[in-house]
């Protein structure tokens, strides 16, 4: 659904000279524009249909727009160079803003569930369902192209902000389908609208857990995934002059990866040659990703 090879090749050709930072910002900016468009058309559809699901979807789109706006400025700040007070850069702001995104997602989920419950207690008839269906069909198309592009950007950049933003819109996409279902079936059962609204609310709350997990990976300096660590170890051990690895520490912050290793070299090697080996290893590891900070220290094995 979100991995069509020929579309990916087209995107690769379009963005081949675009940096990861810029690609992530373009993705988030597209999210802001899409959300504002969705808010406008859903507001009109809500007034026309009086649907609780439509109201919930409009509220979710408002929060999506706010979340994407915050994410965009966080990406700009995270890409700025380190300064006197932040010697390691500003990449962790991505994790902080991802947690803020999570709070917005939780609020959205609770609000939707609350509105759905009230609809159970006091059902309201849906009017002009054809208008609502048409609006949600347009919304599905708009959100799908956004989610696809953000999935592509996430795969390229590994940005937790883009991934978190994409989860918002994925929930919005599922909500749109649910609303279409409720608008079609509500004429047979007045409770369908409420059931769909609560179901989407529960899904949105569950997606918040995923966002929290992704943010904590960065904020708690969790090591890079095992396959990447294995690749790093192989590169180090295959470097001429290195006889072993004393320690290896890895972490990520935003789109940037950090690698720090102490490696063993022969005890009779010169300091100049040891530094050369470290330099060679750092250059090899820097090719793992676009944004990698590598420190290799060589020492003689006793």
Sorted by where each begins, the domain ranges of the chain are 5-219, 226-300
Q: What is the pLDDT of residue 166?
A: 79
**What CATH number labels 226-300?**
3.30.70.1350
Q: What is the pLDDT of residue 137?
A: 87
Q: Can you give the pTM of this predicted structure? A: 0.70
State both tokens at 113.
């569930």
Q: What is the pLDDT of residue 2?
A: 61
Rounded to 5°, angle at Cα 27 from 25 and 30: 105
Q: What is the pLDDT of residue 279?
A: 92
Axis crossing angle, helix 160-185 with helix 129-157, rounded to the nearest 10: 160
- How far apart CA 26 and CA 150 sit, in angstroms, is 9
Asked if CATH classification 2.40.50.140 holds for the domain at 5-219, the reply, yes or no, is: no
State both tokens at 229.
């660590």
Q: What is the pLDDT of residue 263?
A: 92
N- to C-terminal Cα separation, the chain: 55
Rounded to 5°, angle at Cα 31 from 28 and 37: 155
State both tokens at 159.
């940005």
Contact 290, 252 (CB under 8 A): no
Question: Which of 41, 204, 211, 206 is CA-nearest to residue 133?
Answer: 41
pLDDT tens string, the chain, 302 residues long: the values are 666 788 888 888 888 888 888 888 888 889 889 988 988 888 888 888 777 667 777 877 787 788 788 888 777 777 766 666 766 667 777 778 778 777 777 877 787 777 777 777 776 666 667 777 888 888 889 989 998 998 888 888 877 778 777 777 777 787 777 777 777 776 677 677 677 777 777 877 877 777 787 777 777 878 888 999 999 999 999 999 899 999 999 988 777 788 999 999 988 888 888 899 999 999 999 988 877 889 999 888 76
Q: What is the pLDDT of residue 302?
A: 64
Axis crossing angle, helix 52-78 with helix 129-157, rounded to the nearest 10: 20
């Amino acid at each position: 659904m979100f991995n069509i090879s020929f579309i990916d090749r087209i995107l690769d050709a379009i963005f081949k000279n675009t940096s990861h930072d810029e690609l992530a910002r373009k993705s988030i900016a597209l999210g802001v524009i899409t959300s504002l468009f969705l808010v406008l058309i859903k507001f009109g559809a809500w007034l026309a249909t009086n649907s609780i699901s439509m109201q919930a979807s409009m509220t979710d789109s408002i929060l999506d727009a706010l979340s994407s706006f915050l994410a965009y400025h966080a990406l700009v700040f995270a890409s700025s160079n380190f300064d006197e007070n932040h010697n390691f850069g500003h990449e962790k702001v991505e994790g902080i803003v991802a947690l803020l995104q999570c709070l917005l997602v939780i609020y959205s989920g609770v609000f939707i569930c609350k509105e759905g419950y009230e609809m159970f207690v006091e059902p309201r008839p849906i009017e002009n369902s054809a208008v609502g269906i048409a609006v949600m069909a347009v919304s599905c198309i708009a959100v799908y192209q956004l989610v696809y592009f953000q999935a592509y950007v996430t795969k390229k950049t590994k940005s937790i902000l883009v991934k978190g933003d994409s989860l918002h819109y994925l929930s919005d996409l599922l909500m749109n389908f649910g609303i279409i279902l409720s608008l079609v079936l509500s004429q047979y059962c007045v409770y369908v609208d409420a059931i769909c609204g609560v179901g989407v609310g529960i899904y949105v709350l569950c997606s918040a857990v995923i966002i929290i997990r992704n943010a904590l990976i960065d904020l708690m300096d969790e090591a890079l995934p095992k396959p990447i660590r294995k690749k790093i170890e192989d590169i180090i051990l295959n470097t001429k002059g290195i006889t072993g690895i004393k320690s290896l520490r890895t972490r990520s912050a935003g789109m940037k990866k950090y690698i720090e290793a102490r490696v063993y070299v022969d005890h009779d090697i010169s300091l100049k040659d040891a530094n050369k080996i470290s330099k060679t290893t750092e250059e090899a590891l820097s090719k793992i990703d676009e944004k990698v900070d590598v420190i290799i220290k060589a020492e003689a094995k006793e």
